[in-house]
Amino acid sequence: MEIIILKDADSVAAFGGELVAGLLRVSPATVLGLASGGTQLALYHKLVAKHRAGEISFRQVTTFNLDEYLGVTPANPQSYRAYMQRVLFDHVDIDPRRTFLPECAEGQNPLLVGRLYEKKISAAGGIDLQILGIGVNGHIGFNEPSSSLNSRTRVKTLTRQTVADNSRLFSASEFQPRLALTMGIATIMDARRILLLATGEKKAEAVAKMIEGPLTAMCPASILQMHQRVTVLLDEAAAGQLKNRDYYDWTHLQSQSLQERFGLDHEA
Ligand code: GLP
């Protein structure tokens, strides 16, 4: 894993935005895996700003979101579809027919939606870059602790903690889903490159378990230790419980100098 610790959340979004923009410049027809949630908001703002400045285009980009609530229509402002429209899709030149979420229409069998989603990802040639956040309990997508490390897109029940963590976004009278369709852990691991963003002290324990803990289904993000190309962007607060911090900073310095000398852009 390449672990990059930056001073604050804005620097994390700026670094992530540069990384995604760099990829879009080299490969305009990139297939992006997208995440929702509070952490990614600043990243999407950066991407929208770059698009407005004429630096990047999404015209040929295809996107697959990690997850979507079950039982929430796309028109519901709480849906991840609505989130994506609001924060990114409505502000860039992406073709709406190439934006996918694991959405389950009323009356559709969610089991079939999961399988179909996998097929769509394969048909698009697989995901080039998967953007991830991390839950306080170490989940990625909605793959909660104890999820099969070999899982594919399917229905998951959210933990009480995840429901509580996300309740800040729902008013008391609003229906808050307990079920979601999410890419599986194996689906995420198939991405050619992964970019995980985590900010704030609340994430520090999950981040330390993901990077320095044992590989275990009880911290689904720990599977990323097995992926050959993961970049983790952290602010100081989210990096607060890492024991090996000095090494990550040292490695990042060496990577930067490798990049300057040879144009290499990562250390996995
Ligand atoms: C949510 C989403 C994840 C997201 C994570 C962190 O519940 N399903 O895709 O990465 O939990 O969210 P946040 O960035 O709001 O902390």
pLDDT band at 260 (very low <50, low <70, confident <90, very high): confident
45 is catalytic: no
Residue-wise pLDDT tens digits, 91-149: 999 999 999 999 999 899 998 999 999 999 999 999 999 999 999 999 999 999 999 99
Q: Which of 118, 144, 190, 235 is catalytic?
A: 144
Residue-wise pLDDT tens digits, 47-89: 999 999 999 999 999 999 999 999 999 999 999 999 999 999 9
Ligand 1 centre from 263 Cα, in Å? 33
Report domain extents, the chain.
31-123+139-182, 197-224+233-240
Mutate to test the pocket of ligand 1, among 165, 178, 210 (most ligand atoms within 8 A of CB): 165
Ligand 1 centre from 141 Cα, in Å? 7
pLDDT band at 10 (very low <50, low <70, confident <90, very high): very high
> Does residue 162 line the site of ligand 1, with CB under 6 A?
yes
Reported for 171-180, long-range contacts at CB under 8 A and 24+ positions apart, including other chains, are 174/78, 175/71, 175/72, 176/78, 177/69, 177/70, 177/71, 177/72, 179/69, 179/70, 179/71, 179/155, 180/67, 180/68, 180/69, 180/70, 180/142, 180/155, 180/156
What sign does the dihedral 246-228-238-210 (CA atoms) show? negative
244 is catalytic: no
> Does residue 42 line the site of ligand 1, with CB under 6 A?
no
2 is catalytic: no
Residue 182: the pLDDT is 98
pLDDT band at 265 (very low <50, low <70, confident <90, very high): low
Query: 31-123+139-182, what's its fold?
Result: Rossmann fold (3.40.50)
252 is catalytic: no
> Does residue 142 line the site of ligand 1, with CB under 6 A?
yes
